């Protein structure tokens, strides 16, 4: 169990193209555990390995879109963790959808990004077993955002130059205000 520091813009590591995992070993499984710890601690719904400085094609997603009520009457999210190793998009829909995206590496900045509404993804799970599935909704959006990270691409690369410059300027200001 370890919460790892998250790499933020403009760190050049976020622009690296990550390397495929050659074998799903115990070390990979332990690292995936640390990625979940880090994602939950940061209240994210996804995390790519390069966001903790590891240039390998590994990502984790948990949309936490369900809640349950405990004995104390409090509601808490139901965890639904998924790890994706060497994920590949093999097909995308023509239909697109827009979502107001954020990124743990670009803290507290959001912009509408248009992407294919559905994507078919192939990946290995933590046991090294292969899967292929068509994803839709927020899971499709999040998967494309995470696979972008594995290719050194950030959500701000999908918006206009003017919007990107405004967003990065706002981030700069927020950081200076916090310092
Ligand atoms: O926590 C996150 N929320 C989010 C919202 C909309 C689209 C994508 C995401 S992923 C993001 C976490 C992150 O930075 N993953 O790389
Ligand atoms: Ni991100």
Task: Say whether 150 sits in a helix, a strand or coil.
Answer: helix
124: CA distance to ligand 2 center in Å?
21
Residue nearest to atom 10 of ligand 1 (CA): 46
In the residue annotation, 94 being an active-site residue is answered as no
Number of structural domains (the chain) is 1
Domain that holds residue 51: 12-178
In the structure, ligand 2 is a single-atom ion and the residues with CB under 5 Å from it are 103
Question: Which tens digits make up the pLDDT trace of 61-71?
Answer: 999 888 889 99
Question: What's the CATH number where 99 sits?
Answer: 3.90.45.10
Question: Which tens digits make up the pLDDT trace of 26-46?
Answer: 999 999 999 999 999 999 999
**CB of 85 closer than 8 Å to CB of 48:** no
Residue 25 CB-density burial (10 A; 0-12 exposed, 13-18 middle, 19+ buried): exposed
Q: Let me know if residue 132 belongs to a domain.
A: yes
Using left for φ > 0, alpha for ψ between -120 and 50, and beta otherwise, residue 15 falls in alpha
Q: Let me know if residue 7 belongs to a domain.
A: no
Min mean pLDDT across 32-36, 48-52, 175-179 is at 175-179
Q: Let me know if residue 92 belongs to a domain.
A: yes
Question: Residue 43 CA: which ligand 1 atom is closest?
Answer: 1
30: CA distance to ligand 1 center in Å?
22
Exposure on the CB side of residue 68, measured as CA atoms within 13 A: 5
């Amino acid at each position: 169990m370890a919460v790892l520091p998250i790499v933020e813009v403009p760190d050049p590591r976020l622009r690296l193209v990550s390397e495929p995992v050659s074998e799903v070993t115990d070390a990979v499984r332990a690292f995936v555990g640390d990625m979940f710890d880090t994602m939950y601690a940061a209240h994210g719904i996804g995390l790519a390995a390069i966001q903790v400085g590891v240039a390998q094609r590994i990502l984790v997603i948990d949309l936490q879109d369900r809640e349950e009520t405990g004995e104390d009457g409090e509601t808490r999210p139901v965890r639904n963790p998924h790890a994706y190793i060497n994920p590949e998009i093999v097909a995308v829909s023509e239909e697109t959808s827009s979502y107001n995206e954020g990124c743990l590496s670009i803290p507290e900045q959001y912009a509408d990004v248009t992407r294919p509404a559905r994507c078919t993804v192939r990946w290995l799970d933590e046991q090294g077993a292969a899967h292929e599935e068509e994803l839709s909704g927020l899971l499709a959006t999040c998967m494309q955002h995470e696979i972008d990270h594995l290719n050194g691409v950030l959500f701000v690369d999908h918006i206009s130059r003017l919007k990107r410059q405004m967003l990065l300027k706002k981030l700069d200001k927020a950081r200076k205000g916090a310092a």
